[in-house]
Amino acid sequence: MKPATGKLGVLCVGLGAVTTTFITGTLMYRKGLGIPGGSITQMAKIRVGRGEKKAYKKIGEIVPLADVNDMVFGAWDIFTDSAYESAINAEVLKTKDIDPVRDELKAIVPMKAAFDPDYVSRLHGENVKSGTRWELVEALREDIRRFVKENGCERAVVIWAASTEKYIPYDEQVHKHLADLEAAMKADDREHVSPSMCYAYAAIAEGVPFVMGAPNLCLDIPAMWEFAEKQQVPIAGKDFKTGQTLMKTVLAPMLRTRCLGLAGWFSTNILGNRDGEVLDAPENFKTKEVSKLSVINTILRKEDQPDLYSDIYHKVRINYYPPRGDAKEGWDNLDIFGWMGQDYGMQIKVDFLCRDSILAAPLMLDLVICADLAARAGRSGIQTWLSFYLKSPMHDYEKGIEPVHDLFQQYVIFKNAIREMGGVEPDEELD
């Protein structure tokens, strides 16, 4: 394990509500003006050892984590607003919680973004790079090198917190092998190579861990896994698990554990921030829908309990509602049954009034810190132990591996990885 010495560059794709909430909160935290609520790396304790030797330690006492005081923030965005202007415009945080770090936020001015309006039709910005897909990759690589050099960083992590791109299907002719993906980039194949793939490729090429915080087809293709292993770079994704899906990964295991059946699960959201506006476009919603729909069937498996889960009707909706802003509301209706079957059905109704960026910000902090930890520990490729934070956990489906969605099982995997990297026996098992 390499020590966490020197500065860590944190390069965020997108400087909108989520990113500015993350950066502002982290800057406030290191000034002692806020708490990192929701951050496992900063607040949780994990048991190490058993019996008389057991002890509960913070993660930073088990493995050497990057210090938030050593983080240097940068970003790409299609708009020219500084992090301060963006934080004010996002209206997530109160001015009193932004002004104490105003100068630091004003100094964060976004680099030009690799952007294609065909992938996000609802957004139009002027701070955009031009060029073919391969030229965008080269420009992004130069951005990373320059940022690291100018800020004296020893290491860096790139994390995607930009809008959800439109849905594109996996194409074996382009996405299976690294050579084919590179050829498509050089041929400027805009149909199969998304802007997010350019960021991921550029980061991996520079030996920098990459985290995908949206449901875009990007990292979750064999070509990227091949590249990450070749470059010995850790990657993680995809889609930050914040509100409604977080609840699903808690409630579905409860149903399974109690052997209660599920006839249907209807989920709908109202959201008024930029993410909501983007997802109002059907082609972008499709990407998010696939991510959200993937959770239930891997927890409530019809092949294991056909009497309970053989015919689940699962519906997901997202509605753009500007008055709500970043204060997202998720409604869930579960039609469940148990003793004597569906003739005696019951319902569970959940109304989660959450703050999208407030829930996502600690995930960004943890994922950056954990991706850096994985790199220093010599781990490369898909970091399945980070599934705890993600809606659609990346997994090598070519090897028949299925993702784990159960939040509690994901936490066991996470804790065992920390124990292992800390030289402690990974002593919990999945059922």
The beta-strand segments (E) located in 144-226 are: 153-160, 210-212
CATH class of 244-353: alpha beta
Which helix (H) or strand (E) covers residue 66, if one does?
A: none
Q: Is 97 helix (H, G, I), strand (E, B) or coil?
A: helix
Contact status, residue 330 vs residue 244, Cβ threshold 8 Å: yes
Residue corresponding to tokens 């059905």:
345
Rg (CA), the chain: 21
Specify the domain boundaries for CATH 3.30.360.10 within the chain: 244-353
Residue 423's alpha-carbon distances to 44, 72, 284, 314, in angstroms, are: 19, 29, 43, 42
- CATH class, domain 7-240+357-421, is alpha beta
Q: DSSP secondary structure string, 281-315?
A: SHHHHHHHHHHHHTTHHHHS-TTT-HHHHTT-EEE
- C-alpha span between 376 and 207 (Å, rounded): 12
In tens, the pLDDT along 49-71 reads: 998 989 999 999 999 999 999 99
**Angstrom distance (rounded) from CA 47 to CA 56:** 4
Q: What is the pTM of this model?
A: 0.94
- Estimate to the nearest angstrom the gap between the alpha carbon of 359 and the chain centroid: 11
Could you give the angle at the alpha carbon of 24 between the alpha carbons of 201 and 157, nearest 5°?
Answer: 20
What's the confidence (pLDDT) of residue 292? 67
Question: Which part of the chain is CATH 3.40.50.720?
Answer: 7-240+357-421
**Residue-wise pLDDT tens for the chain (431 aa)?**
999 999 999 999 999 999 999 999 999 999 999 999 999 999 999 999 998 989 999 999 999 999 999 999 999 999 999 999 999 999 999 999 999 999 999 999 999 999 999 999 888 999 999 999 999 999 999 999 999 999 999 999 999 999 999 999 999 999 999 999 999 999 999 999 999 999 999 999 999 999 999 999 999 999 999 999 999 999 999 999 998 899 999 999 999 999 999 999 999 989 887 777 887 788 777 776 776 677 898 899 999 999 999 999 999 998 899 998 888 899 999 999 999 999 999 999 999 999 999 999 999 999 999 999 999 999 999 999 999 999 999 999 888 888 999 999 999 999 999 999 999 999 888 87
CA angle 91, 96, 98 (to 5 degrees): 60
3-state secondary structure of 400: coil
